[in-house]
Chains A and B, each alone.
Chain A
Amino acid sequence: KEDSPETAEKSEETKPVVIQIGYGNNPGEPIDLAANEWKKLIEERSNGSMKVELFPSAQLGSKNDLIDQMLAGDSVITLADGAFYADRGVKDFGIVFGPYLFDTWEECWTLTESDWYKEQSAKLEEKGLKLLASNWMYGDRHTLTTKPVKTVEDLKGMKIRVPNNTIQIKGFEVLGATPTPMAFGEVYTALQQGTIDGLENPLTVLYNGKFHEVAKYLILDAHVKNFTTWIAGTDFFNSLTPEQQQILTETGKEAGIYNNEIQEELNDEALEKLKAEGVQVIDINKEEFKEKAKAFYSLPEITKDWSEGLYETVKDAMK
């Protein structure tokens, strides 16, 4: 029978590619809303040749689990950022999580469009990870504490929970605090019982985790401008048709723009809600924090892994 290969091809065409997108944020957080928007865009634009399933709240596993899964060839996409890529062997990428590297979001977006960033993306691709979109704002990372912090000196000796990576640990250490890595799920009780004195994250995450019920003081220090990225396994990405690849990256960018709009809106909303629920926002002199954070970029433990003059290169690239 001559026509059988053709029908086989046809049936393969009609069977949509299923892409699973996993992230740690909970339903209703800006990232989740924007991921829903992304799903909508992909499914519309691909005329049903691509189907997207969303898995919020780390249902499919942690970021690291998902990265291992995509390296094994699974058709998953996840949210990850510079600090993760540094731990996956692209050391220079970690600098984007350095304290006070960016002054404005514009600088972030200039950097993600720069040649330096393209180089880093290429290195990541060699490691089997394909960056799909880098224009997603995750938010300014602020600090919520159980005791008031009025000056950077007050941070001295305070145990602040940070994610488990060297960049963020050292980034907080230079401010004088005692960075304490801890599983996110244990943070609420640890704050309540005083095992730690604070944590840092974007406002929407702080509000959604209900940490303000047990920690009442907030400083808007914005120590990291956290943009985030979506990645997929290179093998999976290459298995898509060029058209599908284009749809994926294009819509990723568009959903990113949508994300950034609602991020600002929802961040303001979260701040209002935090205040309304009894959180005291303390005015700080941010310059003081910035000044102290500068030491980070000359710490030998940090710079030993970096390329020569990385700080200057990146600073130039974001202008």
Chain B
Amino acid sequence: MPPDIIIERSKFMNTDNNKVFKYLMNIDMIIAGFALIILVMITFFGVIMRYFLNNPFVWLQEVQLWCFTWVVFFGGGAAFRSGSHVAIDVLVDHMPAALKKIVEILGYLVSMAVLIYLLFHGKNLVQQLLQTGRVTNILGIPYPIIYGAFPIGCVLMIINYTMVMIKELTNKELNVEGGE
């Protein structure tokens, strides 16, 4: 969530609401954060249980992969907010500003198309897993819970990329008006 949007909205809310709103807008990061903490903790304690207590967590792998999947897909949207996604700018850097902007919008539209396609088929995959009742081997965790992060991640990425794009375009227009 771009900070300036939060500030703007906060004019219309009292501070308590603002705090709630801030947490709400970062809920993906909070979920990914918990998944990461659990991932590190079970791996560390898994080592202790296996080596020192000779009683390994037999469910370690499946919970590790669960957490990992959640970190990646819940974090995917947040990575747009922090500008962490990598892109190759070899050609675009040599383009005139106007063309750059067109290419940027094109890139956004391509990504949207891809993400919507993935959202749709990711949802279908989760539905298939629901129908066939696939669960993890040891703990019997339903796979729709684990892989559900995939379509959710697509939605989060669509929202975040859109917000970043809006912010970037409006900013640039302001700059142009400012007589750049």
- Measured CB to CB, the residues of A under 8 A from B are 68, 71-72, 87-89, 127-128, 157, 159, 164-166, 169, 178-183, 195
CB of A235 to closest CB in B, whole Å = 12
When A87-B135, A88-B134, A178-B54 are in contact, do A72 and B61 touch as well, CB less than 8 Å?
Answer: no
- What is the number of residues of chain B that contact chain A, defined by CB distance less than 8 Å? 18
- Name A71's contact: one of B50, B56, B128 (CB within 8 Å): B128
A/B pair count, beta carbons within 8 Å: 47
- Name A182's contact: one of B55, B61, B132, B137 (CB within 8 Å): B61
- Check if A127 sits within 8 Å of B132, measured CB to CB: yes
Name B31-68 residues within 8 Å CB distance of A: 50-51, 54-56, 58, 60-62
- Check if B138 sits within 8 Å of A164, measured CB to CB: yes
When A164-B138, A166-B137, A166-B138 are in contact, do A180 and B56 touch as well, CB less than 8 Å?
Answer: yes
- Check if B128 sits within 8 Å of A169, measured CB to CB: no
Is B179 in the interface zone, CB < 8 Å from A?
Answer: no
14 inter-chain pairs at a CB distance below 8 angstroms, sorted by A residue, are A68-B128, A87-B135, A88-B134, A127-B132, A164-B138, A165-B137, A166-B137, A166-B138, A169-B138, A178-B56, A181-B58, A181-B60, A182-B61, A183-B61
* B61, B129, B132: most-surrounded residue (chain A CB, <10 A): B132
CB of B97 to closest CB in A, whole Å = 45
Is B125 in the interface zone, CB < 8 Å from A?
Answer: yes
Q: Across the A-B interface, give the 10 residue pairs with the lowest CB-CB distance, nearest first.
A: A165-B137, A180-B56, A87-B137, A164-B137, A89-B133, A169-B58, A157-B54, A178-B54, A181-B58, A71-B132
Please give, as numbers and ranges, the residues of chain B lying within 8 Å of A169 by CB-CB distance. Answer: 58, 138
CB of A290 to closest CB in B, whole Å = 24
When A72-B125, A89-B133, A128-B132 are in contact, do A164 and B54 touch as well, CB less than 8 Å?
Answer: no
- Check if B132 sits within 8 Å of A89, measured CB to CB: yes
B60's closest neighbor in chain A, by CB? A181
> In whole angstroms, how far apart are the Cα atoms of A169 and B137 in the complex?
11
When A164-B138, A166-B138, A169-B138 are in contact, do A159 and B128 touch as well, CB less than 8 Å?
Answer: no
Please give, as numbers and ranges, the residues of chain B lying within 8 Å of A71 by CB-CB distance. Answer: 128, 132
Please give, as numbers and ranges, the residues of chain A lying within 8 Å of B50 by CB-CB distance. Answer: 159, 180, 195
> In whole angstroms, how far apart are the Cα atoms of A178 and B129 in the complex?
32
Please give, as numbers and ranges, the residues of chain A lying within 8 Å of B129 by CB-CB distance. Answer: 68
Please give, as numbers and ranges, the residues of chain B lying within 8 Å of A128 by CB-CB distance. Answer: 132
- Check if A72 sits within 8 Å of B138, measured CB to CB: no
Please give, as numbers and ranges, the residues of chain A lying within 8 Å of B62 by CB-CB distance. Answer: 164
CB of B128 to closest CB in A, whole Å = 6
**B97-130 interface mask toward A, CB cutoff 8 Å, 1 = contact, 0 = none?**
0000000000000000000000000000100110
Please give, as numbers and ranges, the residues of chain A lying within 8 Å of B128 by CB-CB distance. Answer: 68, 71-72
> In whole angstroms, how far apart are the Cα atoms of A88 and B125 in the complex?
16
Please give, as numbers and ranges, the residues of chain B lying within 8 Å of A164 by CB-CB distance. Answer: 61-62, 137-138
> In whole angstroms, how far apart are the Cα atoms of A159 and B128 in the complex?
36
CB of A145 to closest CB in B, whole Å = 15
A179's closest neighbor in chain B, by CB? B58
B136's closest neighbor in chain A, by CB? A87
Please give, as numbers and ranges, the residues of chain B lying within 8 Å of A157 by CB-CB distance. Answer: 54
